[in-house]
Amino acid sequence: MRRALTLFATLLLLWTVIGQANHALTGWRVYLFAGGLFVAFAALTQPHGPGLAAALMGGLLCDATTPVTFGTHTLLFAAAHVVIFHIRDRVPREDTIASVLVVLLTNLALFLIFSFSQIHDSPAPAAVWPRLMADLACSQIFLAVITPWFFALQAKTMALAGPGYASTG
């Protein structure tokens, strides 16, 4: 439980950072989506139970603060966590570039699924795609920059929470 709550605390910090960045970017009509970062570290380095619990709590956090059907982020994050956890033995987890790639691919998948689930409300769905693609490009660049920092932060926080928490138990 402590492991999951510690992971959730770092996700709360990530949510705050992304929220503040999006607040500052509203004048430019740019939006950053960082769903991949909410699940990647826990799925790559943590045991299944606490990692999944953290991903679920991160999803609930995102669901509560966005106007989507409650559970959309939660179930998407849970699915992403399970998929990454399933393939993690084939990923060089200690390699930063590999971690960044996992985050980027996860984020891409989550963004596209999320977009298809939300776009039906738009008066002209086809006209929204250029905006979504611009947001996706900005999000991916942003994630490529902050993923090493956030992974290091999560690893340090886990190490502080308990011995052996920083990696798979």
143 binds other proteins (CB under 8 A): no
Taking alpha carbons only, the member of 32, 18, 43 closest to residue 132 is 32
Phi, psi angles (nearest 5°) of residue 7: -60, -40
Question: CB under 8 Å to 72, separation ≥6 — which residues?
Answer: 63, 114, 117
The burial class, CB within 10 Å (0-12 / 13-18 / 19+), for 29 is: exposed
72 binds other proteins (CB under 8 A): no
Which is closer to other proteins, CB of 26 or CB of 92? 26
26 binds other proteins (CB under 8 A): yes
* DSSP secondary structure letter of residue 28: G
168 binds other proteins (CB under 8 A): no
Q: Which residues 48-67 are close enough to bind other proteins by CB under 8 A?
A: 48, 52, 56, 60-61, 63-67
- Choose which of 91, 101, 105, 134 interacts with other proteins (CB under 8 A): 134
Spatial distance between the Cα atoms of 65 and 67, rounded to a whole number of angstroms: 7
Which residues of this chain interact with other proteins, rule CB under 8 A? 12, 15-16, 19-20, 22-23, 26-31, 33, 48, 52, 56, 60-61, 63-68, 70-71, 74-75, 78-79, 82, 85-86, 114-115, 118-119, 121-124, 127-128, 130-132, 134-135
